[in-house]
A and B are shown apart, each in its own frame.
Chain A
Amino acid sequence: MAIEVNDANFDAMVLKNELPVLVDFWAPWCGPCRAVAPIIDEISKEFEGKVAVCKVNVDEAQAAPSRFGIRAIPTLIMFKDGEVVDQVTGAVAKDNILQMINKAF
């Protein structure tokens, strides 16, 4: 399962993580976020030990989304060594997410 991350542990879990990190900015009331959630969970299992998959609930964490200029959810950002490698907005297909992950390797 994806790890829930908030403003307090965002730096430690995402920016300072040794692994590449896929972050899903979402909210419980957002339909497309719920639509894409099963794919995120699937990816977190398939890439266990290779990619850290985190979820940021934008209702509970406001600093992290605003830091990365999030204006739409779901937004998925791929981080490597604390830097943004790629990002995508909307309930995209699994293939698009896999392409993003590939850019971190």
Chain B
Amino acid sequence: MQAFDAVVVGAGPAGLNAALYLVRAGFKTALIERNSAGGQVLSTSEIENYLGFPKGVKGYELADLFSAHADAYPVQRLRGDVVSMESTEENGKMHILHMQEGEDIKARAVIIATGAGNRPLGIKEEQMYKGKGVSYCALCDGNFYRGLDVAVVGGGDAALEEALYLSRIVNKVYIIHRREGFRGTQIYLDKIRSMPEKIELVTSCVVDSLDGEPNLKKVVVRHVQSGEKREIAAEGLFVYIGHVPNAQFAPAELERNEQGFLITDQEMQTKIPGIFAAGDIRAKLCRQVCTAVGDGATAASSAIRYLEHLNA
């Protein structure tokens, strides 16, 4: 079994930064990722609000920079899926990570930074049209809808940003949002409202059903108050209605909020000594690249303090 002082699970901004801080403090640190490093940053077209990039930065470019920074230090990068965790006593608390493939990994401190995935719409046709019209990545799939009409679902920054991105490629974008007002940043709303011929706001509506054969042709929306239905001719439907935490493998004893996000104190400490959480996996208000990076640093600092106490 491979043993480390600290293991960080998830190589998004939170995990990469946590690993960087731990290894710089001299601890033997592993960073486990099931895919490539970067997390949700990888699928974001343009990031305009990360300090230090006044002209904005492409998501995958920022992800590569983050990853290269961690690689400038001897962080042990491991690829794989953690399926479960348990804590045992071995001259003090030891945490064991069970991997999908290969042998277990153990560490005195674990930082869970596995982030969140896209929240699905939850209607029955969604799975059927995945890859045939329904998408969760405008950057990836926008080009296949060049000159066509598409719809975006959601009212937060992700929905607004990606609607703006799509508006440069497609013929027309409908933004379907279940409320009248938008949570998204004013600067995006102003841009969107300045081009009503290109982007139409369909507010107080939810997606009722999808239609088309074999590919999506029609999105039926339902007004949340009147129940009145409207058909929108759209060949693409981009879903940005929030996130679900990737916390299935985390110990059941950890506290979670109603949505399943992990609850920590302000130092990123969970209820189990030696287990910390950082980034989008945490129950919190603001989920941004900068808050993930900050969580990573805080979690690592807490883990460093914890490890130093163990060794004292």
Bitwise, B186-218 to A at CB < 8 A (1) or not (0) is 000000000000000000000000000011000
Kindly identify which residue among A31, A42, A69, A94 contacts B137, using a CB–CB cutoff of 8 Å.
A31
Check if B131 sits within 8 Å of A29, measured CB to CB: no
Interface of A is mostly: mixed
A27-B140, A69-B214, A90-B131 given. 8 additional CB < 8 A pairs? A31-B60, A31-B140, A35-B36, A71-B141, A71-B144, A72-B144, A74-B140, A93-B81
Q: Which residues of B contact A34 (CB under 8 A)?
A: 36, 38, 42, 60, 63
Check if B100 sits within 8 Å of A95, measured CB to CB: yes
Minimum distance in angstroms from B64 CB to a CB of chain A: 9
Q: Which residues of B contact A8 (CB under 8 A)?
A: none
Q: Which residues of B contact A37 (CB under 8 A)?
A: 36
B interface with A by C-beta (< 8 Å): 34-36, 38, 41-44, 58-60, 63, 79, 81, 100-101, 130-133, 135-137, 139-141, 143-145, 214-215, 236
Q: How far is the CA of A31 from the CA of B139 in the complex (A)?
A: 8
Residue of B nearest to A73 (CB): B140
Kindly identify which residue among A29, A58, A93 contacts B60, using a CB–CB cutoff of 8 Å.
A29
A interface with B by C-beta (< 8 Å): 27, 29-39, 42, 58, 69-75, 87-91, 93-95
Q: Which residues of A contact B41 (CB under 8 A)?
A: 31
Minimum distance in angstroms from A14 CB to a CB of chain B: 19
Check if A89 sits within 8 Å of B58, measured CB to CB: no
The list of the 4 closest CB pairs from A to B, nearest first, reads A31-B42, A89-B131, A35-B35, A31-B43
Kindly identify which residue among B43, B79, B144, B215 contacts A42, using a CB–CB cutoff of 8 Å.
B79
Residue of A nearest to B130 (CB): A89
Minimum distance in angstroms from A57 CB to a CB of chain B: 12
Residue of A nearest to B81 (CB): A93
Residue of A nearest to B44 (CB): A31
Q: Which residues of B contact A94 (CB under 8 A)?
A: 34, 81, 100-101
Q: How far is the CA of A30 from the CA of B44 in the complex (A)?
A: 9
Q: Which residues of A contact B144 (CB under 8 A)?
A: 70-72
Q: Which residues of A contact B63 (CB under 8 A)?
A: 31, 34
Check if B132 sits within 8 Å of A32, measured CB to CB: no
Kindly identify which residue among B42, B59, B60, B141 contacts A72, using a CB–CB cutoff of 8 Å.
B141
Query: Would you give 7 A-B contacts (Cβ < 8 Å), ordered by A?
Result: A31-B38, A32-B140, A37-B36, A42-B79, A69-B214, A72-B137, A89-B130
Check if A71 sits within 8 Å of B215, measured CB to CB: yes
Check if B215 sits within 8 Å of A69, measured CB to CB: yes
Q: Which residues of B contact A91 (CB under 8 A)?
A: 35
Q: Which residues of B contact A42 (CB under 8 A)?
A: 79
Residue of B nearest to A70 (CB): B144
Q: How far is the CA of A71 from the CA of B130 in the complex (A)?
A: 9
Q: How far is the CA of A37 from the CA of B34 in the complex (A)?
A: 11
Q: Which residues of B contact A31 (CB under 8 A)?
A: 38, 41-44, 59-60, 63, 137, 139-140
Residue of B nearest to A26 (CB): B140
Minimum distance in angstroms from B282 CB to a CB of chain A: 22
Kindly identify which residue among B100, B101, B137, B215 contacts A30, using a CB–CB cutoff of 8 Å.
B137
Q: How far is the CA of A29 from the CA of B43 in the complex (A)?
A: 9
Chain A CB within 10 Å, residue with most, of B131, B135, B139, B144 = B131
Q: How far is the CA of A89 from the CA of B137 in the complex (A)?
A: 11
Residue of A nearest to B137 (CB): A32
